[in-house]
Amino acid sequence: MLSHLCIRNYLLVESVELDFAPGLTVLTGETGAGKSILVDALALALGDRAEAGVVRQGASRAEITAEFSIDGLPALAAWLDEAGIASNDGTLILRRVIDTGGRSRAFINGTPAPLAQMKDAADFLLDIHGQHAHHALLRPQAQREALDAFAGAQPLAAAVSAAWHAWQAARSRRLEAETHSQARQIEREGLRLAVEELSALGSDLARWDEIQAEHARLAHVGTLAEGGHALIQGLDEGEDALSSRLGEMCARLDAMQAVDGSLAEIAALLNSASADLAEAGHALRRYADHLNLDPERLAELDRVLGDMHGLARKHRVQPEALAGLLDGYRARLGELAACDDVDALQAAEDAAFAQYLADAKLLGGLRRKAAAALSKQVTAAMHELALAGGHLEVALHVAGEPRAHGLEDVSFLVASHPGLPPGPLGKVASGGELSRISLAVQTALSGVAGVPTLIFDEVDVGIGGSVAEAVGRRLAKLGETRQVLVITHLPQVAARGVQHLRVTKQANGSFVSSNIESLDADARVEEIARMLGGLRITATTRKHAAEMLAG
């Protein structure tokens, strides 16, 4: 459950810290005081998109921190462990910092986190029902999603959607194969010719660098042989060869060393140089012995290089890229062969449709079972909410064709009075009735949802009197099993709260600020009296307020 909320420099709020209790918490205040600020700030802490302009005037950034007690939520604990986020002794802290330009940073238990991750965490924590949620209930998609949520079938509905898209993709591949076979045949013939030309080069295709090096050596074998002979003459065979001169130097140094032993190190170096020089001479002779002019091999390499340059120009690539090009052409030929196997494509399409059909039928069964239970539960709630005799029917109609959402369409049909045939929700229910029906649906869904905290943002707009009392009782009953936060303008709802928060607006010079405070028993009487009597609070309204709180 939500245990603590800290808001700093957000819109009209300079600094507010609130502790929350289990059960039903109500939030009240005069019109325009900023009651929805708390919910909007909390939504930001849960990953909603931030916009420029939310930072309080004169501040550099806004900061919202929401702290949750997560004992008894093993699924969330497993998610945190998988995400690599440390758990803080049964506490989860979500923090959002927003600068004046709308840029923001998010943290989960002090660890920087992307907004998508915060939203994933929020799915385990709470649901927010906005003040216009009853309008969304008019959309067929929202009605279908409400039924799936009540049935606990949301994962299966997602699987059905995925299976439908997989089936459509398989169908498109099969149709494309049947429609564009001639174009693929032309492409295939061109690729076969290119593969034959490239394959004719055999292993040489992947030896571009090696062939170039061999060609350069054979093309300059005369120059290399001449250079090798000159080096051998200079090192060892000429009249003034280095080896002879170096030998004379070593002999003279040996004689000097016999007189002065300190020359031993120099003598060793010179002797080593003499040995290296001799080895270099041997190596040059071996190199010269293997330098053979091979005109036939040179001609062969000329032909191979010419073929490779020609194919490279033809395919507009560098010669060293020809081997990779051949691999790509062969892979494409394989793809075209698979595309032409219409029987295999048809079999894949049939298998994808069979998977979709199996999942969709299972989903339909869950929907039919849940539709009867949801209809019964919402109808009972409607009677409690002063719609006696009315009823809601969750109807399932066979879809004209298989769709991503399944084999049936879902519609909410309502009769607001006895004897009337049920009709579409948007055409039969008035604004006030729609609000009450929406509340009944939402509380029915909340009864099966896994989240521990529910927030209702003025969903009681447009009702009053005995209906308001029924709404208050229903929310209070819901608060027996969940933490419920309600923003309300109805004293009948506010009186049911176990915790009462009040929003006030204050002017301080050129600044206007909103403040949220927790009310004690006496302050609650005054606030309920204000909600009952407006600006003029009398002893009678106070008495009535005290009676409501006592009841």
The C-alpha atoms of residue 363 and residue 408 are separated, in whole angstroms, by: 10
Tens of pLDDT, residue by residue over 285-333, are 777 666 666 667 767 777 888 778 888 888 888 888 888 888 888 888 8
Tens of pLDDT, residue by residue over 512-534, are 778 888 999 999 999 999 888 86
Tens of pLDDT, residue by residue over 388-408, are 788 899 999 999 899 999 999
What φ, ψ does residue 335 adopt, rounded to 5°? Answer: -65, -45
The residue-averaged pLDDT of 241-253 equals 81
Distance between start and end Cα atoms, the chain: 27
Q: What percent of the chain has pLDDT over 90?
A: 25
pLDDT at site 131? 58
Q: In this structure, are residues 232 and 288 in contact, taking their beta carbons and an 8 Å threshold?
A: yes
Amino acid (1-letter code) at residue 507: A
Confidence at 241, pLDDT banded by 50, 70, 90:
confident
The C-alpha atoms of residue 460 and residue 439 are separated, in whole angstroms, by: 8
Least confident of 287-296, 337-346, 438-447: 287-296
**Chain centroid to CA 347:** 33
pLDDT at site 432? 66
Residue 162 makes CB contacts below 8 A (sequence gap 6+) with: none
Query: Helix 74-83 crosses helix 115-122 at what angle (to 10 degrees)?
Result: 160
Looking at the DSSP assignment, which residues form a beta bridge with residue 4? Answer: 19, 67
Exposed, middle or buried: residue 202 (CB in 10 Å: 0-12, 13-18, 19+)? exposed
pLDDT at site 222? 58
**Domain segments of the chain: what residues?**
185-338
Sheet with 391-403: strands ordered across: 391-403, 406-415, 423-424
- How is residue 135 written in tokens? 């309008």
The residue-averaged pLDDT of 233-246 equals 76
H helix and E strand count, the chain: 20, 15
- How is residue 16 written in tokens? 């507010």
Q: Model's pTM, two decimal places?
A: 0.60
Confidence at 458, pLDDT banded by 50, 70, 90:
low
Average pLDDT of the chain? 84
Confidence at 63, pLDDT banded by 50, 70, 90:
very high
pLDDT at site 135? 65
Residue 535 makes CB contacts below 8 A (sequence gap 6+) with: none
pLDDT at site 292? 67
Q: In this structure, are residues 146 and 377 in contact, taking their beta carbons and an 8 Å threshold?
A: no
Instruction: Give the ranges where 316-341 is alpha helix by DSSP (H).
Output: 322-339
Confidence at 134, pLDDT banded by 50, 70, 90:
low
Confidence at 219, pLDDT banded by 50, 70, 90:
low
Pairing of strands 61-69, 13-19: unpaired
pLDDT at site 291? 67
The C-alpha atoms of residue 551 and residue 547 are separated, in whole angstroms, by: 6
CB contact burial 538-548 (16+ within 10 A = b; e otherwise)? eeebbebbbeb
pLDDT at site 24? 93
Residues written for the chain? 551
Check whether 357 has a pLDDT greater than 80: yes
